[in-house]
Amino acid sequence: MNVGVLALQGDFREHKLMLERLGCSVQEVRLPKHLEGLSGVIFPGGESTTIGKLMVAYQMDAALKKFAASGGAIWGTCAGAILLATDIVDSNQPRLGLLEMRIRRNAFGRQVDSFEVPLEVAGLVAPFHTVFIRAPVIESVGEGVEVLSSFEGRIVVARKDRIMASSFHPELTNDSRLHQLFLEKVIGS
Partner 1 sequence: MLESKVNHTETGTLRVKTGFAEMFKGGVIMDVVTPEQAIIAEDAGATAVMALERVPADIRRDGGVARMSDPDMVVGIVNAVSIPVMAKCRIGHFVEAQILQSLGVDFIDESEVLTPADMQYHVNKHDFKVPFVCGSRNLGEALRRIGEGAAMIRTKGEPGTGDVVEAVTHARQIMGEIRKVQGLPEDELMTMARDLQAPFELVRYVWANGKLPVPNFAAGGVATPADAALMMHLGMDGVFVGSGIFKSGDPVKRAQAIVKAVTHYKDPEILAQVSRNLGEAMVGIQVVALTPEQKMAVRGW
138-152 burial: b if 16+ Cβ within 10 Å, else e: beebeeebeebbbbe
45-56 burial: b if 16+ Cβ within 10 Å, else e: bbebbebbebbe
By CB under 8 A, residue 127 contacts partner 1: yes
Sign of CA dihedral 110, 179, 10, 31: negative
Among 86, 106, 176, 180, contact with partner 1 (rule: CB under 8 A): 106
Q: Identify whether the C-beta of residue 114 lies closer than 8 Å to the C-beta of residue 132.
A: yes
Under rule CB under 8 A, which residues in 134-173 are in contact with partner 1? 134, 147-153, 155, 169, 172
Among candidate residues 15, 78, 100, 179, the one labeled active-site is: 78
Annotation says 78 is catalytic: yes
> Could you tell me where the DSSP H helices lie in 12-78?
12-21, 48-57, 60-69
Least separation, in Å, of the C-beta of 71 and partner 1?
A: 27
Number of shown-chain residues binding partner 1 (CB under 8 A): 50
Q: Fill in the per-residue mask, 43 to 72: x = in contact with partner 1 (CB under 8 A), - = not in contact.
A: --xxx-xx--xx--xx--------------
For residue 26, with 0-12 CB atoms within 10 Å meaning exposed, 13-18 middle and 19 or more buried, which class applies? buried
DSSP 93: -
Among candidate residues 15, 34, 169, 179, the one labeled active-site is: 169
Annotation says 171 is catalytic: yes
Annotation says 15 is catalytic: no
Under rule CB under 8 A, which residues in 1-30 are in contact with partner 1? 7-14, 30
CA distance 136 to 107: 5
Footprint on this chain of partner 1 (rule: CB under 8 A): 7-14, 30, 45-47, 49-50, 53-54, 57-58, 78-79, 91, 105-106, 110-122, 127, 131, 133-134, 147-153, 155, 169, 172
Q: Which residues are catalytic?
A: 78, 169, 171
